[in-house]
Amino acid sequence: MPITLTASAQDRVRELVSKREKDETWLRLSISSGGCSGFSYNMDFVQAPEDGDKVFEFGDVHVCVDRKSYLFVNGIELDFEADLIRQQFVFNNPLAKRSCSCGESFTV
Predicted model pTM: 0.82
Q: Which CATH number goes with the domain that contains 43?
A: 2.60.300.12
Tell me whether residue 105 is in a domain.
no
Reference 50, options 32, 35, 70; nearest CA is: 70
Q: Determine the structural domain holding residue 24 and report its residue range.
A: 4-97
Interval 35-69: pLDDT, tens: 565 788 899 999 999 999 999 999 999 999 999 99
Predicted pLDDT of residue 75: 92
Tell me what pLDDT residue 104 has: 54
Dihedral-angle region of residue 85 (phi above 0 means left; psi in -120 to 50 means alpha; beta otherwise): alpha
Number of domains in the chain: 1
pLDDT of residue 99: 58
Query: How does pLDDT run across 13-43, given as a tens digit for each residue?
Result: 999 999 887 877 899 999 987 656 578 889 9
pLDDT reported for residue 22: 80
Tell me if 103 is assigned to some domain: no
21 part of a folded domain:
yes
